[in-house]
Structure 1
Amino acid sequence: EQYRIVRCKPGKASFLAEEGCVLRYSLQLEHAESKERQAALVLARIFATAEEAEIYVRQRLNPLVAQMRGRPEIVPFAHPVAFIDDLNMAVSVFPIDGELPALIASTDHQQMTEFFQKALGDDGDMPMQIEDCTIEAGHYGRQHRCVLRYEVNGRLRNAANADHGNPQPMQQVVYGKIAADDRCKIVGAVLSSLQWRLRQVQTKRQFRLPRIRGYWPDTGLILLESIPGKPQISEMLQAHIASADAAEQPSIPTNLSLTEALQDCARVASALHKVNIQFSETRTFQSELDDLQTYMPAVQQFSLALAMQIQHATRRLQSYAETTAELPVCFSHGDYTYTQLIFDENTCGLVDFDTVCQAEPALDLGQFLAYMRLAARKAEDGILAKGGEPIALDVDALSEQFIEMYIHTAELGSKDAEQLLARVAAYEVISLMRITLHSWQKMKSSRLEVAAALLEERVAALPIVK
């Protein structure tokens, strides 16, 4: 009764077919007396029946409540978990997540401060006396995974500071990743191996990978350093497409061009594919198609027109793929998009190794091109929606520049290059199919419209098999 909800903003949603629907709500709470406001995130899951929702609360959520005793996140709430009968809904206050129970420990201020003292306090380069840390959810868009952002505050401990008796204040930003499976442990092993295997990447800027700052086996939490920069490709596409008199131009490093950035992305991909790391998980062309088909029963039930488009695209793609030769599998990123490559004035970095696998190199390259096309089309549509006149951008030419640099860096002969191009075209369509289905699943109508249109265009561009 001491708090009231002054705002409720629905956030990310994901339709899981027979498993129900997952939703997020951002709340603004106000204290009745002080009028102070604070934010809260509520997780919700809708089930087919009230009985299923009640069982989920009883078996998956209620057992976690005891771990939250004394935590400030739940102070405003009479009950941190609840069952809403009329909606067949189970709800909980973040960080109570029935799919990620380890989130509770990973967001506990005291536990994490103590853990950071162990992880960073004895850092050979910059040992710290940890004083406190702030914690916030970063990327939390998927089930079974979460990225946490930690600002770790303390004082630098070294001989010089000790002499003066006044240790220098210091802050580090560290990212934590947590998952329901053991993928974070795999990420740690991969990054440890890549740190020295990718030292010789011939990018125009100094190439960097995030260093591992710690691993907590009990929770599966891996801590990674923050490397400078941010994804720039989308903003550079927007800057090229925007009219000259656009009111807002994106902030882009002055010494970075779109062509240079794409060439660096190609060089990194080529170097990654040459790394001799073996994985048991292999993603083949057929396994990618099979995975997409798992979405189809629900799509056919609720969106017949989209289901027909996907099935038509699948048939055309299969006919085309049969005329191409598979490439040897290699170590692959698994989700190689422009958002995973970050740039600043002097460095270029690669992040997010959650999906590493063995695959044809065309899987990474097709994924990159599909997302680049999507970003360019969204930029065009955004300018049109504001009444502007977008400048034409030849995305095909940009795609060719990217692939040509990859072929050059990978030192492929003409026959191998031709084979690669054929497979990249196929995998680009697969990526667009996946983007389309994920957009439908996450109820992103505008993104779905753009992705479906691009998919139709790229399928039509495939050579017709007689």
Structure 2
Amino acid sequence: MTAIVSDPNGALGDLAMPMLRLALQPEYMVRRLRECLPLVRQLATGDEPIRLRAIHVRRHKPGRRCLIEYELIDAGPRGGETRLTLLGKVRAKGLDHRSYAVQEALWRTGFGPPSEDRIGVPEPLGLLPDLAMWLQRKVPGQPVTESLTGPDGAALAVRIAGALHKLQRSSAPVNRRHTLTDELSILRQQLGLVAKAHPAWAVRIQRVLAACERLGAAIGPGPFVPSHRDFYPDNLLVDREWLHLVDLDLCCEADPGLDMGNFIGHVTELSLRTRQDPEALADLEQTLEDEFLRLAGVASRTAIRAYATLTLVRHIAISARIPERRRWTPAVLELSERRLGIVAR
């Protein structure tokens, strides 16, 4: 049986990532996976070799990175089948040793299956340097968004705060920092593009950026702790009792309030976009903040709220960039102005 190859966005034609030609070639990949993955070799207990059932390109940022899913099947000696799904992360500028090391360290120090709190990360499975790829097991589950806004949302919010606190207390080998200066620099760059595309908003955006600078000045210096740096509902998967943190590629040291502020800012934007009311999920936001502060200490309260506002401001650029969200850009801009005190409610 020939493996199915699904490449809906044409990653194969990415000239900046020539390694994708091999990464999407079934005969080559099944051989490489057999050679390089101890787990895959252990699965091959029957006479039938491991088969590659399908390859799917799940995400592709042209010229930057690609996420590829590999579906494997092992036909056992008694006619049963063992299935294993892997995710391969490919980076155009070369193998991301750092992200692999961080995830492997977390997996081995409390974020693997023995974890009693059922808070984990996907299992890292190996490196394929010739493809600038590292592999991990695909974990089951769905992004927490739907569950978080459902009847059990408050209980899930408590677990999310616990997951973040666990990450911040870990010994993840992060070797870079994200500072408030970095955060403001990203805002200036991204909102500058919006102002260029929408000249009528240019003055308003300049006022927003100036207010963000003033808000940043209110955040006192705090300790640097391991941080996800992309902590929002899509990057947490819930499956029954398990909660997995995924997409740790930006993991770094940062202010303890950064990740929770980022998460709450995303919840505010979600509330505005899906319920036409930025206050509709305020109780949920308060639960997230209160539980995190209970665990980590109240010193992060100011930073959490400031970073939540900065994240909301960043959604001006995010909404302008995503076609299906562009109609919400004016509303996000207006809400940002209100939260920053530029205009009255």
Same fold by TM-score, threshold 0.5 exceeded? yes
Question: Could you say which residue in structure 1 is the equivalent of 2:134?
Answer: 222
- Show CA shifts across 1:255-281 (max 9, x none): xx1011111110011111112335342
**What letter matches 2:254 in structure 1?**
A
Aligned residues of 1:234 and 1:376 also touching (Cα < 8 A): no
Contiguous gaps of at least 5 residues in structure 1? 1-37, 43-92, 241-256, 382-389
**What letter matches 1:440 in structure 2?**
A
Question: Could you say which residue in structure 2 is the equivalent of 1:32?
Answer: none
User: Superposed, which structure 2 residues align to 1:137-176 within 5 Å?
Assistant: 137-141=57-61, 144-156=64-76, 161=77, 166=78, 168-176=80-88
- Structure 2 counterpart of 1:429, from 306, 309, 324: 309
Question: Could you say which residue in structure 1 is the equivalent of 2:176?
Answer: 281
Aligned residues of 1:148 and 1:175 also touching (Cα < 8 A): yes
Q: Structure 1 residue 437: deviation in Å?
A: 1.3
- Show CA shifts across 1:109-167 (max 9, x none): 111111222244655864463122311111225651111111112224xxxx4xxxx45
Aligned residues of 1:198 and 1:272 also touching (Cα < 8 A): no
| Separation in 1, partners of 2:269, 2:96 | 29
User: Superposed, which structure 2 residues align to 1:40-439 within 5 Å?
Assistant: 41=8, 93-120=10-37, 122-123=39-40, 126-127=43-44, 129-141=49-61, 144-156=64-76, 161=77, 166=78, 168-182=80-94, 184-199=96-111, 206-237=118-149, 239=150, 257-381=152-276, 394-410=280-296, 412=297, 417=298, 419-439=299-319
Aligned residues of 2:102 and 2:173 also touching (Cα < 8 A): no
| Separation in 2, partners of 1:280, 1:190 | 10
Q: Structure 1 residue 314: deviation in Å?
A: 2.0
Q: Structure 1 residue 395: deviation in Å?
A: 2.4
Aligned residues of 2:100 and 2:134 also touching (Cα < 8 A): yes
- For this pair of structures, how many residues does the alignment match? 335
Question: Could you say which residue in structure 2 is the equivalent of 1:451?
Answer: 332
Aligned residues of 2:101 and 2:173 also touching (Cα < 8 A): no
Q: Structure 1 residue 453: deviation in Å?
A: 3.8
Which fold has the larger relative contact order, with Cα–Cα distance below 8 Å and residues 6 or more apart in sequence? Answer: 2
The residue matched to 2:131 in structure 1 has which SS?
Answer: coil
| Separation in 2, partners of 1:396, 1:204 | 31
The residue matched to 1:140 in structure 2 has which SS?
Answer: strand
**What letter matches 2:201 in structure 1?**
L
Q: Structure 1 residue 355: deviation in Å?
A: 0.8
Change (3 A) 1:112 1:457: farther
The residue matched to 2:340 in structure 1 has which SS?
Answer: helix
Aligned residues of 2:127 and 2:135 also touching (Cα < 8 A): yes
| Separation in 2, partners of 1:210, 1:461 | 43
| Separation in 2, partners of 1:117, 1:183 | 20
The answer to which structure has the higher strand fraction is 1
**What letter matches 1:130 in structure 2?**
I
| Separation in 2, partners of 1:338, 1:320 | 25
Identity in percent: 19
Q: Structure 1 residue 174: deviation in Å?
A: 1.3
The answer to which structure has the higher helix fraction is 2
The residue matched to 1:282 in structure 2 has which SS?
Answer: coil
TM-score by length of 1: 0.65
Change (3 A) 1:183 1:110: closer
In the alignment, does 2:312 pair up with 1:440?
no
Quote the RMSD (CA, aligned, Å).
3.0
Aligned residues of 2:315 and 2:332 also touching (Cα < 8 A): yes
Aligned residues of 1:173 and 1:225 also touching (Cα < 8 A): yes
User: Superposed, which structure 2 residues align to 1:20-59 within 5 Å?
Assistant: 41=8
Q: Structure 1 residue 236: deviation in Å?
A: 4.1
| Separation in 2, partners of 1:113, 1:124 | 11
Change (3 A) 1:376 1:109: same
Change (3 A) 1:40 1:332: closer
Question: Could you say which residue in structure 2 is the equivalent of 1:31?
Answer: none
The residue matched to 1:328 in structure 2 has which SS?
Answer: coil
Moved more, 360-369 or 205-214: 205-214
Change (3 A) 1:116 1:266: same
**What letter matches 2:60 in structure 1?**
Y
Contiguous gaps of at least 5 residues in structure 2? none
